[in-house]
Amino acid sequence: MLKLNKVEKQTIRPAAEVYDVCAQLCSVAVQFEDAWERKDIEFDADLEDAAYTQADPGLLELVWTNLLSNAVKFTPQGGSITLRQTRANGKIYVSVTDTGCGMDEKTIKHIYDKFYQGDTSHSTEGNGLGMALVKRILELTGAEMQIESTPGKGSTFTVVLAERK
């Protein structure tokens, strides 16, 4: 909550630098290895050797951590998660796809609302602030997110960043 409040009140100012998103994604993903192994989740990472963006690495790390944490939380035992990074037309695309419970249109519409939890069966595992924080970070970074989801089949969250050489 404190981090979201600081980001919203602009007491945290993004400290943009050029850095390798792929290296950061690898670093964040391995933090969840125990969690996906406990749930027997198949984890697949499809990343380039390097892709550079200009952003605040500490803030974007919070985005990746939130997306992967949600994927692990909402993917059932024996499911799968895919972390994919591609580049096209000066953009870097980072997607997290899971075979979790998925979301209906109402949930997608409210996903960035503070304290909103579409699937209340996991409400003890979070406070409903993660996606509000992600939204604010993406606004500060000039990035955007696309969401595709089907109830009962899973979700894909794709973050689009500007590429820097």
Residue in 112, 107, 121, 94 with CA at minimum distance from that of residue 150: 107
Domain boundary assignment for the chain: 2-162
Mean pLDDT along residues 119-146 = 75
CA distances for 42 relative to 60, 75, 126, 136, 163, angstroms: 24, 10, 23, 30, 29
Residue 6 binned pLDDT confidence (cut-offs 50, 70, 90): very low
According to the CATH classification, is domain 2-162 in 3.30.565.10? yes
Lowest pLDDT segment from 105-109, 145-149, 151-155:
105-109
Judge whether 52 and 82 are in contact, CB under 8 Å. no
Task: Look at residue 2 in the predicted model and tell me its pLDDT.
Answer: 41
Judge whether 144 and 159 are in contact, CB under 8 Å. yes
Residue 116 binned pLDDT confidence (cut-offs 50, 70, 90): low
Residue 53 binned pLDDT confidence (cut-offs 50, 70, 90): very high
Task: Look at residue 112 in the predicted model and tell me its pLDDT.
Answer: 73
**Could you tell me what percent of the chain has a pLDDT over 90?**
71
Mean pLDDT along residues 135-146 = 92
Q: Where are the alpha helices (DSSP H) in 21-104?
A: 21-30, 33-38, 57-74
Chain position carrying tokens 């391995």: 30
Q: Tell me how far apart the alpha carbons of residues 42 and 15 are, in angstroms, rounded to a whole number.
A: 35
Within a 10 A sphere around the Cβ of 62, how many other Cβ atoms? 19
3 state SS of 124: helix
Higher pLDDT, 25 or 4: 25
pLDDT surpasses 90 at 119: no
Residue in 129, 25, 126, 103 with CA at minimum distance from that of residue 68: 25
Higher pLDDT, 132 or 79: 79
- Amino acid found at 24: Q
pLDDT surpasses 90 at 45: yes
pLDDT tens-digit profile of 55-102? 999 999 999 999 999 999 999 999 999 999 999 999 999 999 999 999
